Chain A
Amino acid sequence: MMLRLPLAVACFSLALASPATTWAAPSDGGHNAHRHTVNSFWGVSLEEFEYRYSDSDDEVAVWDGDAFFGSDELKFRWIFSGEWEEAHDAFESLENQFVVQTPISDFFDAKAGVRIDTPEGPDRVYGVLGINGLAPYWFEVDSNLYVSDEGDASIDLDAEYELLLTNRLILSASLDVLVALSSDREIGLGKGLSSTETGLRLGYDLIDRSFSPYLGIVHERKYGDTADIARTSGGSKEDWFAVVGARLMF
């Protein structure tokens, strides 16, 4: 029942953001040969597509990416991420978000939609409201408010900064912060600052920007109640990973 509200929000924002003139699929059957301007695009990218080796010998496959289709004014975006633990042959996390996205300023977009988590363990469905864009000084930021079908709310904030060592050798630093506004013990989430993930990846643009292999380190940490819950279930409060992977963009 709680699911309906965020979905309604998403649909409402879709209606608001869709002026009739701007949302038009290609009118000539898919090729662009007969238009002055091009109004719709698609793209797929995987920011993270990597294998992680932890300091406690765990191995995890991780991906985080998105695919979109749409115009300057309105995009449909599928955001997908997951962590597959080798030791348990199980998804530690598995998220799929379906959002619509529309510009709200020169550099920022608003998003609204639904997030469906189906990892090993209890599933959750969330309504999502978020913004993402480019903050001053070239920080890519993405922040979302999630409200689950259990009625629990959480906020995440991701920030990324790219340092160009050369025009192809790029060091990217990332920080993801998760704050729970209420606890959801069933999925291991305690109220308050819940967890952070900090990453440092050194990548090289091998083929344009479509294939950029990288090496890096990632630090995951849980805080407060979330850390306590993890400890009781035999998990760790803090993990260090060495990562190897590639950034992909099509």
Chain B
Amino acid sequence: MSIKFRMLVGAMALALTGGVYAAGEHGGHHGSGGNGAGEPGDASDVSRTVEVVMYDNYYEPENISVESGETVRFKVWNDGALVHEFNIGSAEMHEAHQQEMQMMVEHGVLKGDHIDHDMMNMDMGDGHSMKHDDPNSVLLEPGESAEIIWTFTEASDLEFACNVPGHYQAGMYGDIEFK
């Protein structure tokens, strides 16, 4: 199942149940459905490392060039005072994910400057939780860092973005350009 599809299901379930988080937990692997974002990469395929620093509501750098088929290791630091996300996807994927993140804020999982991991992992009653462990993203508290290894399978319109509510809208996104 592709990320996009799962997110769509998530968004639909969200709309249907009026508030039960239904996606977000990562079950299998991604990328086979040709959604264009790419797929989790293998460490052995990494051609280079790109360092990304997250500040309060912007990234440095704001532009990253990749080649089709390239596998990149992203080292991501959160140098801000707030929780931020680094998420690779299309504008539509980000939009869908933003609704999930909104739920996390409404349920108190995501506070301004920290993540309530206990609550995030809590079973919400139907086998679902608010876990944030999709391989195309990391969600970091201030001071934290993480890595993502990602293979850009094909050229498409991609952005890296922070989907903490309001952050993307305020301009916390960067462009991924295919050479």
Asked whether any CB of A lies within 8 Å of a CB of B in the complex, the reply is no
